[in-house]
Amino acid sequence: MNSRILTILIDSFWKLVVPGIKVTIPLTIISFSIGMVIALFTALVQTAKIPVLRHLARFYVWIIRGTPMIVQLFVVYFGLPSIGIILSPFPSAVIVFSLSVGAYCSETVRAAIESVPRGQLEAGYCVGMTYSQTMFHIIIPQALKTAFPPLSNSLIGLVKDTSLAYSVAIVEILATAQRIAARTYDYFWLYIEAGFVYLIFCTVLTWLQRKAENYLERKS
């Protein structure tokens, strides 16, 4: 590394951090929030054993988990316009990332719900609670404590997965690094710097995850 490369890296650092704050983090938060709603609904449908909805939920999980996310992005952003559905890059990425989070996290939530002893559900019935009341007031709070660590890992993984959004013209961290590298021809160091910026964001989330886990342990 010479002084020229060092100067480029110093100048480009905040140029990478800014789209990370303005694009990567919002994209992650919005997609994960929507995805968790989808995951909870999908998990509840499967645990409730509603015949038709259960099969549809399993089909959805099968499709999303069995196909690459980059293919899903291309289908939504480049493929849908051929049938008259045109979406801008950011909503396209939100749809794909949300569906991906929903599929993967639904299995985590479902397993957590099924890990709660069956007697908890029966106890809810005994005190006059309905199925939905028992689920939301007794079962799900216990299940989410179990599911919190793997769900947090999914959130951290999503931060890194948002790098795929550059393929549909979203200017996030990787896309910014690509543009700077194309101008300076220093691909190696700029890609390493982009990875370092992702590492910073993921490290902060990991620290928050541990704090949250400690808090849940004290509350339990």
User: Across the chain, what does the average pLDDT equal?
Assistant: 90
pLDDT: is 30 or 47 the higher one? 30
Q: What are the sequence ranges of the domains in the chain?
A: 3-219
Kindly report whether the global pTM for this prediction surpasses the value 0.85. Answer: yes
pLDDT: is 72 or 132 the higher one? 72
Tokens of 181: 């590298």
**pLDDT of 113 over the 90 cut:** no
Tokens of 115: 């890990």
Nearest to 220 by CA among 143, 112, 136, 151: 143
Kindly state the average pLDDT of the residues 109-130. 82
Q: In this structure, are residues 74 and 167 in contact, taking their beta carbons and an 8 Å threshold?
A: yes
Q: In whole angstroms, give the CA distance from residue 200 to residue 160.
A: 11
Task: Name the residue with tokens 């002084």.
Answer: 3
**For 3-219, CATH number?**
1.10.3720.10
Q: What are the C-alpha distances in Å from 10 to residues 20, 94, 135, 205? A: 16, 31, 52, 24
**pLDDT of 169 over the 90 cut:** no
User: How would DSSP label each residue in 129-192?
Assistant: --HHHHIIIIIHHHHHHHHHHHHHHHHHHHHHHGGGGGGGT--SHHHHHHHHHHHH--HHHHHH
Burial class (CB in 10 A: 0-12, 13-18, 19+), 195: middle
What integer pLDDT is reported at residue 220 of this predicted model?
62
Q: What is the dihedral of CA 161, 167, 168, 174, to 10 degrees?
A: 60
pLDDT: is 40 or 118 the higher one? 40
Task: Name the residue with tokens 């694009």.
Answer: 23
Q: What are the C-alpha distances in Å from 128 to residues 90, 118, 137? A: 46, 16, 13
The rounded percent of the chain whose pLDDT value lies above 70 is 99
What integer pLDDT is reported at residue 1 of this predicted model?
65
pLDDT: is 125 or 104 the higher one? 104
